[in-house]
Structure 1
Amino acid sequence: MIGKTAVDNSLSNSVQKKSVIETKPKRKISIPKLLIYAVLIAMAIICFIPFLMMLVNATRSNEAILSGFTLLPGSAIVENYQTMMSYINIWAGFKNSLIISVLVTLLSGYFSALTAYGFAFYVFKGKNAMFVFMLVMMMVPGQLGLIGFYELCKNLGILDTYIPLIIPAAASPFVVFFLRQYILTTLHPSLIEAARIDGASEFKIFHTIAIPIMMPAIATMSIFTFIGSWNNYIMPLVVLFSPEKFTLPVLMGFLKGSQVAQNLGSMYLGIAISVVPIMIAFLFLSKYIVNSISAGSIKE
C-alpha cells in the first residue's frame, strides 16, 4: 500500500512538472533587440560589399566594369592575370612582403614582450623616465625621421636590403605599452616570487610563466604588426632599389603608374591578391582581440 502511494505521488509530480513545462511561455525577442540585430546585419553587409565588389571586378573585363555595377563574377580573370603578370611579378612581391612581415611580427612580439615584462616587474634607475620617453616617441610621426634614417642606413651600408625594414620594426613603443598594461592586470607578482624561490632563472620565468599568460595580447598585437608591415609602402620605397626585392605595396604602386592602370580588371586582381592575406589573418585571429581586451576586466 505504501509503495502504491509513492508511485501515485511520483506520477502526479511528473504530471505537474510536465504541465508547468508545457504552460511555460516561450521567450520572445524584444523589438529593441531586433532593431539592434537588424542594424548590425546591415552594417556587416555594408562592410562586406566593397570586398565582394573587388573580388567580382577582378574576374571582369575592363569594358564590363565600365558598363556598370554587378555582383555576378565574369570570365576574364585569366586575361586580367596575364596582363598584370606581363608588367610585374606579383608573386615575387608577395613572397618578399610575407618574409618581411613574418620576421617583423615574430621579432616584435618576442622583444616587445621581453621589454614590457622588464618595465612591469623590475625596478631600476631611470625606469619611469625611460617609459615616459617611450610614450613620447609614440606621439612622433615616423616620417619625420625618414631622412635621418636613410642617411644612417647609407652610412651603415644596409640600403637595398631587408635589414632596415625588419630590425627597427622589432622595437615598437605601442606594442610594449600595450603588453605592459596587459601583464600588470593578468600576472600576479607572487607567481614570479614563487618561481624564484623554486630556483628558476629569470629567462625561464619569462618563457614559462610570462609568455603563456601574455599570449592573447601578443597574438592581438601580432595581427596589427603583421598588417602594418604588410601594408608598409613608404619605407620599402625609400630603402629598396632592386625590382626583385620590392614588396607588394611598392609593386602595386608601380602597377598604378603603368599601362595596366587602364585595365581595371587587372588592377582589381592585384589588389585582391594583396588583401587576401590580411582578410585571412583577421578571420582566424580576430578572437584574440576580444580575449586580450576583456582580460583583466574582472577583478578578484
Structure 2
Amino acid sequence: MLERSEINNPAPGKLSNTSLLPDEIKIKKRRSIVKGIIYILLTLLAIVCFIPFLMMLVNATRSNDAILTGFTLVPGSSLIENYHTMMDYVNIWNGFKNSLIISVSVTVLTGYFSALTAYGFAFYKFKGKNFLFVFMLVMMMVPGQLGLIGFYELSKTLGILDTFIPLIVPAVASPFVVFFLRQYIQTTLHPSLIEAARIDGASEWKIFHTVAIPIMMPAIATMSIFTFIGSWNNYIMPLVILFSPEKYTLPVLMGFLKGSQVAQNLGSMYLGIAISVVPIMIAFLFLSKYIVNSISAGAIKE
C-alpha cells in the first residue's frame, strides 16, 4: 500500500506526464494546422509566381492569332514557325554565345578576385585599410549609370570600344561582393586556422587557396549566381559599348526585336524572351540552395 504522503503528493514526473499530456497534444495540433496553412500559402504563392513563366513558354509555341484570342495552358504547334521568323531577323544564338562568354568570364573573375580582396580586408593589417573599406562601401551606393559617359570616353581613349574587354574587366571590381564575402569569412574562418597553416610552413598564397577558398565556397557560389544574372541581364552597357551586330549580347538583340517586324509576331517575341530567361531559371533551380546555406551561415557569429 502507498503511504499517505505519496498519495497526496505524487512524483513530479508523474504529475507532468498525466496533466500536461492533453496540452501537449493541443499544441502539436495547433502547430500542425499552422504549418499546413503556411505550406498551402507558400504553394499558392509559388504557383502565382510561376504563372508568368508558364505563359511565356506556352505562348512561344502559339501563333500570333492564337495568342490574341486569350491564354491557354495547351501548347500550340507554331514553335518552328516562330523560330524561323525570329531567326530571319536576328541570330539569337550568336547573342546567346556572346552573353554566355561575358557572363561566365565576369562570374569567374569576380568570384576569385573578390574573395582575394575580402580575405585581405579580413585578416591583414595595412595602412589605409579602414579608409579603403569605407570608400568601397560608399561606391556601393553610387549607381553605375552615373559614370557611363566618362566610361565611354575612357574606353574610346584606350581603343577598346566594340570589344568585350570593357564589359568584363571593370565588372570584376564589385564592392558588394567584396563586402559580402568579407562579412562571411569573418564569421566562418577562425584566425587560428591561418596561424596553424603558417606554422606548418604554408605560404600566404597556399593558405588562401587551400584554407580560405574552400571555406568561402558557399558564399562565392551565392554571389556567383547574382553576378551571372546581373551580367546576363546587362543591357545599357553593351548597348553603348558594342557597335557590331555580331558582337551584340542577348538583351541588346531582344531590344532590337521590339523595333523590328518580329514585334508583330508575338509568338516569336515570347520565344526570344524564353531563350534569354531559361538559363537564369536553370541557374536558380540548381544553385538556389547555396543562397540559403551561405546566408544562414553568415548570419551566425561565434
Question: What's the TM-score, normalizing by structure 2?
Answer: 0.89
User: Where do 5+ consecutive residues of structure 2 fail to align?
Assistant: 1-24
Q: Which residue of 2 aligns with 1:241?
A: 243
CA distance in 2, matches of 1:297, 1:52: 35
Q: Write the deviation string for residues 145-187 of structure 1: whole angstroms up to 9, x where unpaired.
A: 0000000000000000000000001110000000000000000
Q: How far did residue 299 of structure 1 move? A: 5.1
Aligned residue number for residue 41 of structure 1 = 43
* CA deviation map 1:30-54 (0-9, x unaligned): 3222211111010000001110000
Instruction: Give, in angstroms, the shift of residue 298 of structure 1.
Output: 4.5
Measure the CA separation in 1 of the matches of 2:111 and 2:196: 26
What percent of counterpart residues are identical? 86
Describe how 1:113-262 pairs up with structure 2 within 5 A. 113-262=115-264
Secondary structure of the 1:30 match is helix
Which of the numbers 268, 271, 277 marks the counterpart of 1:266? 268
The whole-number CA distance in structure 2 between the counterparts of 1:184 and 1:250 is 40
Matching residue's letter, 1:30: S
Match of 1:102 among 87, 104, 120: 104
- Return the alpha-carbon distance in structure 2 between the equivalents of residues 181 and 208 of structure 1: 19
Distance, in Å, in 2 between the alignment partners of 1:214 and 1:30 is 37
Task: Give the aligned residue type for 2:91.
Answer: N
**Residues 155 and 110 of structure 1: CA distance in aligned 2, closer, same or farther (over 3 Å):** same
Which residue in the other structure is 1:17 paired with? none
Q: Please give the root-mean-square deviation of Cα atoms over the aligned residues, in Å.
A: 1.3
* 1:219-268: CA deviation from partner (whole Å, max 9, x where unpaired): 00000000000000000000000000000000000001101001000000
Report the equivalent of 1:59. Answer: 61
Residue aligned with 1:73, SS: coil
Q: d(CA) in 2 for partners of 1:32 and 1:114?
A: 45
Letter in 2 for 1:261: A
CA distance in 1, matches of 2:231, 2:34: 41
Contact 2:187 2:300 in 1 (8 A): no
Classify 1:177/1:297 alpha carbon distance in 2 versus 1 (closer, same or farther; 3 Å): closer
Partner Cα distance (2:113, 2:183) in 1: 16
Misfit runs of 4+, over 3 Å: 296-300
What's the CA shift for 1:61? 0.2
Which shifted more, 27-36 or 206-215? 27-36
The 10-residue stretch of structure 1 (290-299 or 38-47) with the greater mean CA deviation from structure 2: 290-299
Output the CA distance in 2 between the equivalents of 1:271 and 1:119.
Answer: 41
Asked if 1:282 corresponds to 2:284, the answer is yes
Structure 1 residues not aligned, in runs of 5+: 1-24
Q: CA contact under 8 A between 2:183 and 2:298: conserved in structure 1? A: no
In structure 1, give the amino acid aligned to 2:232: W
Q: Distance in 1 between matches of 2:142 and 2:301?
A: 35
Name the SS for the 1:84 alignment partner: helix
Give the distance between the partners of 1:233 and 1:219, measured in 2 at CA. 24
3-state SS of 1:250 partner: helix
Deviations 1:11-48 (A, max 9, x none): xxxxxxxxxxxxxx9x7563222211111010000001
User: Does structure 1 residue 50 correspond to structure 2 residue 52?
Assistant: yes
State the distance in 2 between where 1:240 and 1:34 align. 52
> Partner letter of residue 214 of structure 2?
P
Q: How many residues align?
A: 276
Q: Is the 8 A contact 2:115 2:220 kept in 1?
A: yes
